[in-house]
Amino acid sequence: MKKIQILFFAIGIIVLSGCKKYLNEEVQGSLLGSGALSSQQGLEAALTGTYAGLENTWGTGFIHATAVGATMGGDDITTHKASNKADFRQFDQFDVTSTNQRTQALYSGCYKTIQGANNIIANYRATVGDATIISNIAGEAYFLRGFSYYWLVRLYGKIPLMTNPDFADSLLTIHSSQPADVYSLIESDLNTAATLLPNTKRDPGRPNKGTALAYLADVYLTEGGWPMNDPTKYALAAATAKEVINDSTLYGFHLVPTYTELWANNPATNGTPETVFQLSTFLGVGSTTNANYGASAMPGEEGGWDDFFSELNFYKNFPLGPRKDATFDTLFTLGNGATLPYQQSQTQHPYYKKYYQYNRSSNWNSSTPECLMRFAYVLTIYAEAEARATGTPDALAYQCINAIRQRAGEAPLSGLSGPDFAAAVVQEKAWEFAAERYRWFDLVRLEMVEQANANKDPNDLQPIGTITKADYTFPLPYSETSVNPNL
């Protein structure tokens, strides 16, 4: 009896003494608050997470056919008429709904990156570590924020403008900002990035100072047209592009000798020296594998998914030469080894060989870097902007455009008026950057969408209804407006 009483007494003491701290939450292995960014390593990890918004296979960003799909309103690309490509068809037919999963993927990815960049920008000044690396990290964050907003403002027009990483319930009722406010932030971010970034990229998949300036030049060029329509920006575009061209050796940018080697797509080379900005990808980790190259771009006959391919008139009008050969695939190889001309294929369209994988592998995934801007593009910015700003293309402008034409096997341009030269540059861009997600934005800023879609081949998807300025941007995703109807 005594023993038992002692036992109960002891247990009672133990139980009661343990109570006080029993409900304290032990958080282990979890990161909380802005303190996570107080070290250089923490800041770097936050930057890595910031990139992830732009490169999440099937989820968000650019390393699957989403961004190509979103620019299908251009006359360079189209998709399968039947099959399971309804989202893609909406872009090609100017009938984009708020539930289109492709715009959702771009939208969410850009904002996830903006959130990460906001966090770095808000905290990097307090980070302890190597000052140069910290400023490089901050530069990349500013660049990524500017880059993301640039995509968003062109896709949607009016958008919510977020510059603070902290969440508050009040953010759920804010209104969208005007494009002018967004562009102003983009200019500021890219300028800041240019001051913080090094001349040499830290890795192939990161920006350098030249990258920031090249994007700034492109932003100015876009502001010259619809919807900002500010012609004074052309001079800024030309000046900024010229800065990049002048310092191209410093930034490591130059044209590669042939158009074909641009699209070898060998992951081992980590891109080409012509790359101004790319998102690197890695096959070994599911969410960073590149799904834009390979099956997505290939015909069903070769095990492809028929996600996107060339519009018929675009192919027909495309000037002959090594560039055309490197751009398109017109002869498909069947499983039994026989070949089939595209005219006899199921979709009866040529495909973009550019987006085939190294050695024509029909895999859907690869480590091919996703190139988002080439040095050739910077040359066209200067050429067009200079012509539009001054009314007369200068020697450098001709030099820029002719370097591209020459490589493509085309005769050099000469003796054109300002407007004619600019128009020629825009057309040259269509060929040079076919399916590289530029044509749509050129058509929009120059208000050429209606014209470019007026005479489509009858065997291509036709616009649904009349194209209006409302079709120049897409409705905000339903996930946004359903939560915040004020947008």
Residues within window 368-397 making contact with other proteins, judged by CB under 8 A: 368-369
Told to check if 116 binds other proteins by CB under 8 A, we report yes
Piece in contact with other proteins (CB under 8 A), picked from 65-73, 122-130, 197-205, 223-231: 197-205
Told to check if 117 binds other proteins by CB under 8 A, we report no
Nearer to other proteins, 96 or 255 (CB): 96
8 A C-beta contact, residue 136 and residue 202: yes
Shortest approach of other proteins to residue 349 CB, angstroms? 10
> If we measure between CA atoms, which residue out of 475, 480, 381, 481 comes closest to residue 100?
475
8 A C-beta contact, residue 361 and residue 370: no
**What is the footprint of other proteins within residues 268-297 (CB under 8 A)?**
268, 270, 279-285, 287-288, 295
DSSP states along 226-248: TTT--TTHHHHHHHHHHHHHHTH
Cis bond upstream, residue 227 (ω within 30): yes
Distance, in Å, from the CA atom of 174 to the CA atom of 185, rounded to the nearest integer, reads: 18
8 A C-beta contact, residue 474 and residue 155: yes
Shortest approach of other proteins to residue 204 CB, angstroms? 5
Tokens 């060998």 — which residue? 266
**What is the footprint of other proteins within residues 300-329 (CB under 8 A)?**
300-301, 303, 305
Told to check if 64 binds other proteins by CB under 8 A, we report no
Told to check if 79 binds other proteins by CB under 8 A, we report no
Distance, in Å, from the CA atom of 234 to the CA atom of 448, rounded to the nearest integer, reads: 18
**What is the footprint of other proteins within residues 428-467 (CB under 8 A)?**
459, 464-465
| Angle subtended at Cα 178 by Cα 196 and Cα 121, rounded to the nearest 5 degrees | 25
Nearer to other proteins, 151 or 438 (CB): 151
Shortest approach of other proteins to residue 32 CB, angstroms? 6
257: which 2 tokens? 């000798």
Told to check if 331 binds other proteins by CB under 8 A, we report no
Told to check if 97 binds other proteins by CB under 8 A, we report yes
Nearer to other proteins, 234 or 308 (CB): 308
Contact with other proteins (CB under 8 A) among 111, 151, 314, 318: 111
Distance, in Å, from the CA atom of 441 to the CA atom of 433, rounded to the nearest integer, reads: 12
Told to check if 47 binds other proteins by CB under 8 A, we report yes
Told to check if 367 binds other proteins by CB under 8 A, we report yes
Amino acid in the structure at residue 287: S
Nearer to other proteins, 96 or 430 (CB): 96
Distance, in Å, from the CA atom of 214 to the CA atom of 334, rounded to the nearest integer, reads: 42
Nearer to other proteins, 246 or 459 (CB): 459
8 A C-beta contact, residue 435 and residue 354: yes
Told to check if 346 binds other proteins by CB under 8 A, we report yes
Nearer to other proteins, 167 or 415 (CB): 167
Told to check if 335 binds other proteins by CB under 8 A, we report yes
> If we measure between CA atoms, which residue out of 463, 436, 449 comes closest to residue 310?
436
Contact with other proteins (CB under 8 A) among 78, 240, 347, 473: 347
Nearer to other proteins, 96 or 397 (CB): 96
Dihedral of alpha carbons 109, 112, 114, 117, sign: negative
Shortest approach of other proteins to residue 44 CB, angstroms? 8
Integer CA distances (angstroms), 53 to 32, 59, 107, 263, 393, in order: 20, 9, 10, 25, 39
Told to check if 227 binds other proteins by CB under 8 A, we report no
